[in-house]
Amino acid sequence: MTQATGHGAELAGLPPVDGKSNKRVLILGAGIAGLTAAYELGKLGFDCVVLEPRDIPGGRSMTIRKGDKITETTGHSQTCKFDEGQYYNPGPSRFPQWHVTMDYCRELGVEIQPFVNLNENAFYYGEGDIGPMAGKRHRIREVKTDLRGYTAELLAKVADDELLDTELSESDKEALIDFLHYEGGLSGSANEYKGHNRRGYKVWPGGGLQEGELDDPYQFSELLQSGFGNLFHRANEYQYQSQMFTPKGGMDKIPMALAEKVKDKIVYGAQVKEIRRTNPGARVVYTVDGADQEITGDYCICTIPPTILRRLQTDFSPMLKNTLNIVPFQNSGKIGMQFKRRFWEEDDRIFGGLSWTNLPIGEVWYPSSGFLDKKGVMGGYYVFGPMSDQLGRMSPEERTEFALSNGEKIHPQYRDEFENAFSVNWATIPHIEGCLAHFPQAMLKTFYPLLIKPEGELYLAASWASHLGGWQAGAFEAARIAVKNIHERTMAS
């Protein structure tokens, strides 16, 4: 494993513990964190047992394919009707280049492909009090080119004004004007933005006399009122910058590859009831097929989501229990929709990427694979917190209708081309019951450190107990830190 960017803990080169007495580590949960712990501990010579309540590994790193069935805790049940070969990632679906996830893909032989996070040809669509641009879809490239153009013009016009109180030299100011011309696509010595072909063409340039025909730019004022410019940053944030990646064939290729490495260590259908400290060590009571079982270990790494962990009998300290109660573990929901025809490619020439909207669906995702195929699965909504809770209370059919009735405002082809859908509401998925945590700054300094501090031989390891909430990389890193710590203690013992 090369390039320790964001690793959390360097495990390369650690000596195996073979010389020590055979230490057993109980691992609760076979999601990314649990699987990684078992995999890395195994390399170091530890004996591991992974207890997983479901019959598949991966936790939220799931991929939905034809025939997959989920019954939610509310009783709502769905069986996936996608065509063979179609799939949807209802949990994590992309990662940036710097995540340790990339290194695990290399090590595990999981093939990756670019995930198109920014497609300038996709749309912004807004409704409500956003001025004249409301109720129509607008290409991202149009909005971006115009808004950057107008703001560059504005700054260029005052850049050499004495009132612009800067410490820039005359030659710096000239360089600034140059930059603004490039950045904004300005023309002439008056530094004016008059539209630019970066916003695309009404008739594109081509062969013969087809020189291309530009459309008029939007007005500065209507752009500002629309607020669309405040969405540019979404693809510029450090987690989302070009180029993002995703495994070929579905996100679950990662947990599947990990699970293959530790397959003899996983007990499926094992639901944890109690987590006890044995000073030193841990004892865990769990049920398999309705019968209680008990297992002891020298260490225990718990990856169970806080929503479920709160209900278990544990010997956690009151402080940790209290912290688990206030972890801001929130819901999220996504829907994969199979369409008869890739109208977004065929009609709108959008190959991958996202359209953003202030409609309650939030985002619409175009698949980053299967380009030019006949059919495809789009992401119809991606919602968090209260909005996802509201959707979670709906039946799958109602969620589909929600996605259709909103999405058809952006894509009028929706109703005609729709075939079937599969929605996942994480708060009602058995044994998961939630999705991700982002800690507010105040909690990061107070409660968060309590989450990640081992209690005796008990460790919590999960993405929701990392600085990478909601990312698989957080689970990888949290697991690696626990592994390193257990290794150190074992070597010192």
Q: Does 161 bind a copy of itself (CB under 8 A)?
A: yes
Please identify, among the stretches 15-23, 39-47, 226-234, 413-421, the one whose residues bind a copy of itself according to the rule CB under 8 A.
226-234
CB of 342 to a copy of itself, least distance (A): 10
For residues 86 and 112, the answer to whether their CB atoms sit within 8 Å is: no
DSSP conformational letter for 391: H
Binds a copy of itself (CB under 8 A): choice among 220, 276, 389, 491: 220
Binds a copy of itself (CB under 8 A): choice among 48, 147, 327, 432: 147
How many residues bind to a copy of itself according to rule CB under 8 A? 108
CB-based contacts of 289, cutoff 8 Å, min separation 6: 269
**Within 180-199, which residues bind a copy of itself (CB under 8 A)?**
180, 182-183, 185, 197-199
Binds a copy of itself (CB under 8 A): choice among 74, 164, 190, 397: 164
Binds a copy of itself (CB under 8 A): choice among 120, 192, 274, 315: 120
Please identify, among the stretches 41-49, 219-227, 301-309, 322-330, the one whose residues bind a copy of itself according to the rule CB under 8 A.
219-227
The encoded tokens of residue 102 equal 């990339």
CB of 429 to a copy of itself, least distance (A): 24
For residues 315 and 275, the answer to whether their CB atoms sit within 8 Å is: yes
Q: Does 225 bind a copy of itself (CB under 8 A)?
A: yes
**Within 12-31, which residues bind a copy of itself (CB under 8 A)?**
none
The encoded tokens of residue 57 equal 């590994």
Burial class, 154, CB count within 10 angstroms (exposed 0-12 / middle 13-18 / buried 19+): middle
Q: Does 145 bind a copy of itself (CB under 8 A)?
A: yes
* Cα-trace Rg, the chain: 26
Choose between 53 and 305: whose C-beta lies nearer to a copy of itself.
305
Please identify, among the stretches 22-30, 57-65, 420-428, 473-481, the one whose residues bind a copy of itself according to the rule CB under 8 A.
473-481
Please identify, among the stretches 63-71, 284-292, 414-422, 476-484, the one whose residues bind a copy of itself according to the rule CB under 8 A.
476-484
Binds a copy of itself (CB under 8 A): choice among 10, 22, 67, 175: 175
Q: Does 350 bind a copy of itself (CB under 8 A)?
A: yes
Q: Does 221 bind a copy of itself (CB under 8 A)?
A: yes
The encoded tokens of residue 36 equal 């990684």
Cα distances from 481 to residues 11, 116, 138, 274, in angstroms, run 9, 31, 46, 24
Chain-centroid distance, C-alpha 92: 4
For residues 366 and 122, the answer to whether their CB atoms sit within 8 Å is: yes
Pairing of the two strands 266-268 and 47-52: parallel
Q: Does 323 bind a copy of itself (CB under 8 A)?
A: no
For residues 429 and 76, the answer to whether their CB atoms sit within 8 Å is: no
Binds a copy of itself (CB under 8 A): choice among 151, 314, 358, 490: 151
Choose between 333 and 474: whose C-beta lies nearer to a copy of itself.
474
CA 396, CA 335: separation in Å to the nearest integer? 9
Could you write out the three-class secondary structure of 328-380? CEECEEEEEEEECCCHHHHCCCCCCEEEEECCCCCEEEECCCCCCCCCEEEEE
**Within 63-92, which residues bind a copy of itself (CB under 8 A)?**
none
Binds a copy of itself (CB under 8 A): choice among 55, 167, 170, 289: 167
Q: Does 269 bind a copy of itself (CB under 8 A)?
A: no
Binds a copy of itself (CB under 8 A): choice among 16, 67, 85, 205: 205
Q: Where are the alpha helices (DSSP H) in 44-115?
A: 100-108
Binds a copy of itself (CB under 8 A): choice among 26, 37, 80, 102: 102
For residues 459 and 485, the answer to whether their CB atoms sit within 8 Å is: yes
**Within 434-463, which residues bind a copy of itself (CB under 8 A)?**
444, 449, 452, 461
Q: Give which of 56, 30, 101, 29 is closest to 474, Cα–Cα.
A: 101
CB of 384 to a copy of itself, least distance (A): 19
Q: Does 473 bind a copy of itself (CB under 8 A)?
A: yes
For residues 61 and 32, the answer to whether their CB atoms sit within 8 Å is: yes
The conformational region for residue 58 under phi > 0 = left, psi -120 to 50 = alpha, else beta, is: left
Binds a copy of itself (CB under 8 A): choice among 10, 204, 280, 493: 204
Q: Does 163 bind a copy of itself (CB under 8 A)?
A: yes
Cα distances from 338 to residues 71, 314, 342, 359, 408, in angstroms, run 20, 43, 9, 21, 14
Q: Where are the alpha helices (DSSP H) in 9-132?
A: 32-43, 100-108
Binds a copy of itself (CB under 8 A): choice among 24, 137, 141, 375: 141
Choose between 401 and 416: whose C-beta lies nearer to a copy of itself.
416
Choose between 249 and 389: whose C-beta lies nearer to a copy of itself.
249
Q: Does 112 bind a copy of itself (CB under 8 A)?
A: yes
CB of 466 to a copy of itself, least distance (A): 4
